[in-house]
């Protein structure tokens, strides 16, 4: 069973429908008990970093999320759920993230000449110097059956800048190259929205659903 975290900021229905389409049993999770009973967790989100962390704290979900992520069970963060894994964000300097990984969430450069937020389709590609992992794209379990250069759907103004470049399994170009997907053990996160990315997104979600739940 997948716990889909509801902290008042996710487009839960579209994520839930996409997960169900690839064969998942989904439960909306609003408290620690629901997380503790789950085989895996998906944390989506759309909105502001500060509001995200405040809502998680108000619902008593910060420590349960950290405990689940540390359990070795599969976890997937989407968009804001990806950004929350890091220490802090330029969007809300006083709000601490979950701190699972070192690094900050930063805004797209103002001088790029591109519209911010990035809204629409863009490519995910093999990291180059941005990652220490050889063939990181091909090695990531969630990208099995996904071609390098595939197009996925983005809606964001900010993106994480991981201190550990070895986390990065896909990157995207939008005025600058940024980490559009990370992976470490059973922790996965995407800046793009798999639930809005048609067949490519469904393949990524299917791969997540099919992951073994043991270490």
* Residues with catalytic function: 79, 193, 195
Provide the Cα torsion 20, 23, 63, 58; round to 10°.
10
Cβ pair 81, 189 in contact under 8 A: yes
Contact 29, 64 (CB under 8 A): no
């Amino acid at each position: 069973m997948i716990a889909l975290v509801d902290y008042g900021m996710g487009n839960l229905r579209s994520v839930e429908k996409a997960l169900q389409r690839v064969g998942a049993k989904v439960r909306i999770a609003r408290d620690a008990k629901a997380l503790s009973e789950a085989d895996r967790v998906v944390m989506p989100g759309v909105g502001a970093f500060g509001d995200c962390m405040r809502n998680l704290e108000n619902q008593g979900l910060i420590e349960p999320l950290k405990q689940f992520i540390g359990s070795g069970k599969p976890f997937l963060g989407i968009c804001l759920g990806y950004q929350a894994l890091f220490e802090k964000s330029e969007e809300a300097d006083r709000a601490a993230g979950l701190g699972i990984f070192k690094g900050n969430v930063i805004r797209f450069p103002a001088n790029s000449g591109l519209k911010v937020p990035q809204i629409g389709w863009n490519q995910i590609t093999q990291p180059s110097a941005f990652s220490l992992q050889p063939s990181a794209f091909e090695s990531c379990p969630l990208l099995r059956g996904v071609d390098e250069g595939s197009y996925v759907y983005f809606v964001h103004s900010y993106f994480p800048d991981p201190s550990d470049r070895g986390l990065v399994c896909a990157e995207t170009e939008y005025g600058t190259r940024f980490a559009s997907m990370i992976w470490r053990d059973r922790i996965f996160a995407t800046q793009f929205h798999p639930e809005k990315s048609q067949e490519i997104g469904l393949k990524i979600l299917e791969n997540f659903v099919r992951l073994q739940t043991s270490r």
